[in-house]
Amino acid sequence: MGALTEKTAEQTTDAALRAGASGGRLDGRTALVTGGSRGIGRGIAERLGRDGARVGVHYGSNEAAAKETVAAIERAGGSAFAIGAELGVPGDAAALWEAFDAHADGLDILVNNAGIGTSRPFADAEESEFDRLFAVNTKAPFFIARLGAERMRDGGRIINISSGLARAAVMPEILTYAMTKGALDVFTQNLSKVLGPRGITVNSVAPGIVDTDVNAAWLRGEENKEAWAGAAAISALGRVGTPQDIADAVAFLASEDGRWVTGHWLDATGGSLS
């Protein structure tokens, strides 16, 4: 079977949106999604909102995008609020939770999604870039989770957004980025043991290539018309991933259905690593 066309992939996503709505199963719960204003983060925030959670939509700099995500959740009948905090700087986690506390009195679901997505090749790597990548992709989630655990009710959920590159050296030109996600996975496994006695599950979800605005330049750019087909061919399912694909995997782990899964790395690459 040949690769699905871009149009077919979008139709598949529309069907998933209709089928994936299961409002109510997260009623009464409060979630925070870092980097929730765009791309995968927005998809996750909207899905958790449809499932009944009240969603904190974090943004680093694009307040307008965060407000639009909040508005989309509210239009669908959900509840949400936007909070801004720059990550990768001293005191970032404390600032984020101070903003969160102004809107909510507790936490049930934390999704560490915010991250920087590229890095230079090994021969060109600079110390400042290395430090910045680890500050945003690894250090920030660590301390956001540490302070978040103080606010999280027993039986809560922590879901870290990793990457297929943490398990396969298919893009060695951005190895520093892959390293940050590998460290995040080690954190996930160990934190599951630390918080397990409280009934809190901790898992990683690893996307592959996903059609987001961050990837739009090379996936849809006129200068590289074959990029979409090449990206689709990497997946065993013959298409490029969507934010909804990742959001649905996160929603499972956030729900009661995922109660017996912890310390796990969930491959959400569409079979790109097989």
Render pLDDT for 23-51 as a digit per residue (tens, 0 to 9).
Answer: 689 999 999 999 999 999 999 999 999 99
**Whether the predicted pLDDT of 12 surpasses 70:** no
Higher pLDDT, 19 or 69: 69
- In tens, the pLDDT along 125-154 reads 999 999 999 999 999 999 999 999 999 999
Q: Say which of 181, 204, 235, 272 is annotated catalytic.
A: 181
Q: Which of the following is catalytic: 119, 163, 192, 204?
A: 163
Show Cβ contacts of residue 190 under 8 Å, excluding neighbours closer than 6 positions: none
pLDDT band at 76 (very low <50, low <70, confident <90, very high): very high
Which amino acid is present at 25?
R
Reply yes or no on whether 177 is catalytic: yes
Cα separation of 84 and 87, whole Å? 10
Residues 6+ apart with CB under 8 A from 238: 1, 2, 3, 4, 232
pLDDT band at 221 (very low <50, low <70, confident <90, very high): low
Under a CB-based contact definition with an 8 Å cutoff, are residues 111 and 33 in contact?
A: yes
Mean pLDDT computed over every residue of the chain: 89
Q: Do residues 26 and 51 touch, judged by C-beta distance below 8 A?
A: yes
Q: 26-214+242-265 sits in which CATH class?
A: alpha beta
Examine the pLDDT at 183 and tell me if it is beyond 70. Answer: yes
Q: In angstroms, rounded to a whole number, what is the distance separating the alpha carbons of residues 21 and 190?
A: 32
Q: Which residues contact 5 (CB under 8 A, 6 or more apart)?
A: none
d(CA 70, CA 136): 23
Note the pLDDT of residue 137. Answer: 98
Distance set, CA 82 to CA 37, 104, 136, 181, 205 (Å): 9, 12, 19, 26, 23
Catalytic annotation present for 139:
no
- Percentage with pLDDT > 70 across the chain: 87
Using 50, 70 and 90 to split pLDDT, how confident is the model at 217? Answer: low
- Return the pLDDT at 17: 43
What distance in Å separates the CA atoms of residue 232 and residue 209, rounded to the nearest whole number?
8
6 vs 94: CA distance, rounded Å: 42
* Residue 124 burial (10 A CB sphere; 0-12, 13-18, 19+): exposed
Identify the CA nearest to 150 among candidates 110, 90, 102, 187. Answer: 110
Catalytic status, residue 274: no
Residue 141 DSSP symbol: H
Question: Stretch 5-12: mean pLDDT, rounded?
Answer: 40
Q: What is the pLDDT of residue 209?
A: 84
Q: How far apart are CA 262 and CA 156, in angstroms?
A: 11
> Is it the case that residue 258 has pLDDT exceeding 80?
yes
Mean pLDDT of 45-67: 97
| pLDDT for the residue numbered 216 | 61
Which is catalytic among the residues 139, 177, 235, 272? 177
pLDDT of residue 222: 62
152 touches 110 (CB < 8 A): yes
Q: Is pLDDT at 16 greater than 50 in this prediction?
A: no
Q: Does 61 qualify as catalytic in the annotation?
A: no
User: Annotated catalytic residue: which of 37, 119, 162, 235?
Assistant: 162
- Mean pLDDT for 194-206 is 98
pTM: 0.89
- Ranges 12-16, 107-111, 165-169: which has the least confidence: 12-16
Name 45's Cβ contacts closer than 8 Å, sequence gap at least 6: 31, 33, 36, 55, 57, 69, 73, 80
